Structure 1
Amino acid sequence: MTTAPSIELRHHTDITPVRQTLLDVYGDVRAPLLHLPHYAVDAFAERLDRHAAEPGFETVVAYDHGDAVGYAYCNTVEPGNRWWKRMNPPLPEHLTAAPAVALKEIMVRVPWRGTGTALRIHNELLAHRPEQRVSLLVNPAAGDGKVQRLYETWGYETVSAQQPSPGSPPLAAMIRNIR
């Protein structure tokens, strides 16, 4: 793995100045899937706008010499939130009894993969969060399971599954402590 020392990470709690940047990175990363309705940029834009309006929204965008190369964003999910209610099988109460971070998206453009950029974005996003746990959803088929295995190396454990919308693939639900 090579490193990307020139990466600059910028936090935002307001989507307005970086919305188009996130859409551009998304469109680039998801280009092979954009013909599928769930992955279309317009469908993502609707999800992004909805997520950005939820409590605790925050994004970290990575730049290399001024060019956006990746991002991650999250928001807070409270006990009883639909994030938890869609888990199948349901999670034990001790995992859902306190507010948590829902990591909704993490994307890195191809040239910066394998450089540690995704982990830097991830860690920066979580570094100052007050919640104790973070949960994410991953397509277990993505990269023949490579993405899920990567998250396991970051300390995540698969705890359940869910299908957030009828058009989305079934996803593995993963969780880990932040600290």
Structure 2
Amino acid sequence: MERVRAYAKSPRFECVLARIDDEPVGLALGYALPENARWWAGLTTPVDPELIREDGTRTFGLTELMTHPDWQGHGIAHRLHDELLYKRPEQRASLTVRSDNRTARQAYDKWGWWQMGKIKPFPDSPHYDALILDLTRK
């Protein structure tokens, strides 16, 4: 909840909640990356500096996408993903996913995301795949 409160203060924060029979079963949220965002700190893959340039309007950071375990495999995450991202004004979206999370990686690959590098956002964190989705191809 602490992270969600911090994200909610960010520019162009948005959250989408899935409910079934009035019970929450999933959630997706994120925000527009600000100019000089810390988002790309910890990249361990060399990338073109233009790829990580942020101006406050270019990239939407997808920070959370989750479905209750009882409802996984029913397409809820995909619907949350699309609902959150479909009308975004940014050119692209970015997210990080654990490199060993094969299920999530397969879904993101299927939904059009591509890997731009590897990232270790904190010294004690695992490596993640940094992914990008072109939002201009809607």
SS in 2 for 1:49: helix
Mapping 1:1-179, distance limit 5 Å: 45-97=1-53, 99-142=58-101, 145-178=102-135, 179=138
Looking at structure 1, the residues matched to 90 and 134 of structure 2 have their Cα atoms a distance apart, in angstroms, of 9
CA shift at 1:128, angstroms?
1.6
CA shift at 1:97, angstroms?
3.9
Looking at structure 2, the residues matched to 151 and 92 of structure 1 have their Cα atoms a distance apart, in angstroms, of 23
What is the TM-score with the length of structure 1 in the denominator?
0.68
Unmatched 5+ stretches in structure 2: none
SS in 2 for 1:149: helix
Q: Tell me the percent identity.
A: 34
Looking at structure 1, the residues matched to 132 and 47 of structure 2 have their Cα atoms a distance apart, in angstroms, of 11
Higher strand share: 2
Aligned residues: 133
Larger Rg: 1
CA shift at 1:93, angstroms?
3.8
Unmatched 5+ stretches in structure 1: 1-44
2:17–2:26 Cα contact (<8 Å) kept? yes
SS in 2 for 1:147: helix
Looking at structure 1, the residues matched to 90 and 65 of structure 2 have their Cα atoms a distance apart, in angstroms, of 19
1:84–1:90 Cα contact (<8 Å) kept? no
Letter in structure 1 aligned against 2:97 = V
CA shift at 1:90, angstroms?
4.2
Show structure 1 runs of 4+ deviating over 4 A. Answer: none
SS in 2 for 1:135: strand
- CA RMSD in angstroms comes to 1.7
Deviations 1:49-102 (A, max 9, x none): 222211111100000010000001010013421112432224324433452011
Higher helix share: 1
Deviations 1:1-52 (A, max 9, x none): xxxxxxxxxxxxxxxxxxxxxxxxxxxxxxxxxxxxxxxxxxxx22222222
Looking at structure 2, the residues matched to 46 and 66 of structure 1 have their Cα atoms a distance apart, in angstroms, of 24
What is the TM-score with the length of structure 2 in the denominator?
0.86
